[in-house]
Amino acid sequence: MAESTSRTLELTIRGMDCADCARHVEAAVRRLSGVARVQVFLSTEKAAVEIDPKRVSFEDIARAVRAAGYAVERPAQDPPATAKENVSAALTRTLWTALGAVFGIVLFVVVIGEWLGFFERVTARVPYPLGVMLVAALGYPVFRNVARAALRRQVTSHTLMTVGALAALAVGEWATAAIVAFFMRVGEAIERLTAEQGRAALKLLLEQAPRRARVERGGVEMEVDVDDVHPGEVTVVRPGEAIPVDGEVIQGQATVNQAPITGESLPVEVAPGSRVFAAALVLDGALKVRARAVGRETTYGRIVRLVEEAEASRGTMGRLADRFSALYLPVVALIALLTYALSGNATAAVAVLVVACSCAFALATPVAVLAGVGAAARRGVVVKGGRAIEALGRADVLLVDKTGTLTFGRPEITDVVPLDGRSEAELLALAAAAERYSEHPLAQAAVQAARSRGLVVPEPEAFEALPGRGVRARVGGREIIVGSARWVLDRADLKGASGVLQTAAARLAGEGKALLYVAVDGEPAGLLAAADGMRPEVPEALSAVRALGVSEIVILTGDHEAAARALAARLGVAYRAGLLPEEKIRIVKAYQAEGRRVAMVGDGVNDAPALAQADVGIAMGEAGTAIASEAAHVVLLRDDWRLIPEAFRIARRTVRVIRGNLGFTVAYSAVGLALAAVGLLPPVLAAALQSVPDVAILGNSARLIRQ
């Protein structure tokens, strides 16, 4: 198979103010031969372009973007220069807005005064050419962008208002045209504010990303750009500094705040052998960390990338809004023509053109999605875009993997059943001593249980492991045998203990627990029972999920029937046991065939196919399990089931906000067009009112940011 030669360019795009701008840039770049994929992120003013470098270059892409009316630059530029450019651009926009505000207020006062009869002589004395010049100066930035788009045969959200202003000038209403231009500038400022509110969470993520790192090279400590650190190098982190890489602590101890990555509210203690993540803050102590991943390959980098991609994923509602906007503008133009044709009222036709603005339709979904994604990210939940938000917001079936998801994925001793008058502590200490050097998970569970109870676990004098059967050891001069029922009991004299053991064993096995039989000097001494411990927050979390409208919860597991049945009974849910990965997929598809919307929660490689098949897959795992995280649509950054209902809650609220945004915009536009068409809404008032939907969308979506 030929090696792929494609690569991804990351570009900075300047001059984008609304969703229309991002779509125009995407369309311009996508037309180039050699471009496989392009995503434009309005929130960070960036574009990710996957190209074949043999067929297309950065210069080709830059020419296409400039031809579309926007500036482009390589991302790897000197940060101070970029900052100066941003300040300069912001100052320019501020001056234009201030100029527009001054002219707009003056003209607004003049028009109101004319309505009241105070300034009829003043407005009559203003020469018409001077009025046209005032309109041109006031609306120049918007008019320029509309003209550029028209030359490219594109229609923007300001096209109709520009046509309305020109129509007002055509009928001699220069003051009305000036007011229209003023409110175009106000609307532009509101759009920019709306976008800034939506991108606030992502900007916060980007600001927290470490930019410099201290590394050891040739025995010398030096400071370099974080992108210049290589996997395997040792980085030095001092108190108060952010860890620059994902890696393993090789020296030092410290208290670390990992909230930016995992959402944990409390700091954690790390020591040699601990795994740490880029952007985590060292509160006290100093560390040496061997880098495992750097830059965009770190967990933090993946979070930023996923949140960036979330903006480009518009989902069903976003695509519906796009199609509606494309049809809306020609429909409005037709209504304006019909208004003039039927009534002969040019002013009413102008009002129809002015009141119609598709900005609200374009903003209704992405602003809410960005707000929802940002709110989730702050809680340790990464949602991969609009489609995932919508799917999670509508899910009515929750399928859950068992091992490592509902449980910790490791056995714990739950029951100790001693015989012949021995205490639980004595039996557990003897079993742990015999198992001390065994690597079997059940053996380690016995040792851990003894130590957690403060018991002394002595060194065995002799030790023999027999794979598949158990262990034989000599402890304190006594022979201890620990293992499976058949192997242990075949070597012990049951005498009168068989009934007691069989009763206890039957009960514990019925609860899905694994059994370890113990014999001492050829006599049965008792048994230990182990189970994969359930995460303590699971019952409360599942109750919260049910309360949010998920009607069916089912455990899907490859574990045996008894273990699955026991756990399902504790949680009050259904279960399917002994499943292979392909069988999990078939179950997901069966629910989908019934018209159900399926959410699937898993943590491992074997869950990845079902996570991808589900309407929304949710990956468990501290800082993400690589394969499951890639397949899933939602990634939990820490192993905490309380994040599951939180994700459902945010998604459902986001869907409600999107519906509210779209519903209000449609109703508002319909009423405005009707009033304008019958002459009840003058052009000046129409221009002022067209900004109301943008403000309403901002306020409605801001509820998600504050949650």
Strands 462-466 and 598-602: unpaired
- Taking CA atoms, 142 is separated from 15, 19, 100, 188, 657, in Å, by 12, 15, 11, 8, 29
Which of 17, 246, 401, 607 is catalytic? The answer is 401
Q: Which helix (H) or strand (E) holds 697?
A: helix 692-706
List beta partners, residue 382. 635
List beta partners, residue 222. 215
Q: Which helix (H) or strand (E) holds 94?
A: helix 79-115
**Residue 535, C-beta contacts closer than 8 angstroms, at least 6 positions apart:** 406, 407, 408, 639, 641
Instruction: Give CA–CA dist 181/293, Å, rounded.
Output: 51
Instruction: Give CA–CA dist 211/197, Å, rounded.
Output: 25
Instruction: Give CA–CA dist 678/159, Å, rounded.
Output: 22
Instruction: Give CA–CA dist 272/253, Å, rounded.
Output: 7
Strands 381-383 and 397-401: unpaired
Strands 71-73 and 220-225: unpaired
Q: Which helix (H) or strand (E) holds 599?
A: strand 598-602
For 243-298, where are the alpha helices, taking DSSP H only?
259-262
Q: Is 640 a catalytic site residue?
A: no
DSSP E strand boundaries for 295-359: none
Instruction: Give CA–CA dist 440/516, Å, rounded.
Output: 12
- The 10 Å Cβ neighbour count of residue 653 is 19
- The 10 Å Cβ neighbour count of residue 193 is 13
- The 10 Å Cβ neighbour count of residue 231 is 13
- Taking CA atoms, 181 is separated from 11, 20, 184, 382, in Å, by 32, 19, 5, 41
DSSP 274: -
DSSP per-residue string spanning 18-35? SHHHHHHHHHHHHTSTTE
First to last CA, the chain: 50
Instruction: Give CA–CA dist 92/100, Å, rounded.
Output: 12
The SS3 of residue 440 is: coil
Strands 634-636 and 220-225: unpaired
Measured at the CA of 375, the angle between CA 374 and CA 376, to 5 degrees, comes to: 90
List beta partners, residue 9. 49
**Which amino acids are annotated catalytic?**
401
